Structure 1
């Protein structure tokens, strides 16, 4: 088994490293851009795994596209200094980023217990990227609502995918009853 294909590496280490590196690189552009690095790190992690499939035939394949499009729109809003790009107060930004992290962890638990390991891994990627946003909110107090919007929209997309999962694997075509309709691990 390759380390790069291990679910823990894909869910925790890869998004953490990519989000930290992109945040540090975007920090050179200013504090407003640093928190957007967490969303960009999530997009890069999703580009690595599970990847951008077009046409997206399943709901889970739409999630990387949601993350990419919302991150690009947030970057455009920050570049144009649109409303909502000013930093929130340190306490408000920190609370918002922590809540997003807990939402990501809750979605991961819901995915793992609800029957989709792919969605659980994607939710852990989201929670890890939100953890980097917490770090920037605590350290630099530069969190703006627009910079957290891609993380929130990706979380909403994950919640919708989890809500639309068939109960107990019923209604899936092919495979054993109770199998994850999305997940086909490469590390087996």
Structure 2
């Protein structure tokens, strides 16, 4: 078993380390850019797992593309100094980031308990990146609505994927025990 392919590493450690490192490396460029580090860490960890598949064969395979598109839109807005790129302030930014983190943790629980292990793992990746946004909002008070946009869009995408799951589970042939047709971990 490879530690790098373990779901706990992919969902918790990798997004946290990447988001924190990117935020720290982008701090000299400016606080507006450093606040985007959580989203960039999420995109890079999604590039590692599950990867960017084109064309996307399932709804779950569109989630890395949603995260990437949201991050590119947020980066463009920050580069153009569009409205919504100013920091919300320590208290408001912290509240927004914490609420987003709790909402995504709820998505992870929804995915794990009644839906899809793949979507639960992707939601944990998102929750970890949101946790870095919480740390950044608490430490540097530079979280803006635009920097939280990619995280919010990815969370909405996960919620829609969970809502569109079949009610009784996927149609599985007799004699085959499969919880999630899209989830095939490589750590076993």
- Classify the TM-score, shorter chain: over 0.9
How far 1:178 moved relative to its partner?
5.6
* 1:52-96 residue CA offsets vs partner (Å, 9 max, x unmatched): 000001000000000001101100100110011011121110000
Report the TM-score, using the length of structure 2 for normalisation: 0.96
- CA deviation after TM superposition for structure 1 residue 175, in Å: 8.1
Distance 1:172 1:83 in 2: 49
Residue 14 of structure 1 pairs with residue 27 of structure 2: no
RMSD between aligned residues: 1.5
Measure the CA separation in 2 of the matches of 1:170 and 1:132: 34
What is the 5 A alignment of 1:36-185?
36-171=36-171, 176=176, 179-185=179-185
Q: Is the 8 A contact 2:170 2:181 kept in 1?
A: no
Q: Which runs of 4+ in 1 moved over 3 A?
A: 170-178
Displacement, 1:177?
6.3
**Which residue in the other structure is 1:27 paired with?**
27
Equivalent residue pairs, number: 188
Quote the offset at 1:147 in angstroms: 0.4
Structure 2: any 5+ residue segments left out of the alignment? none
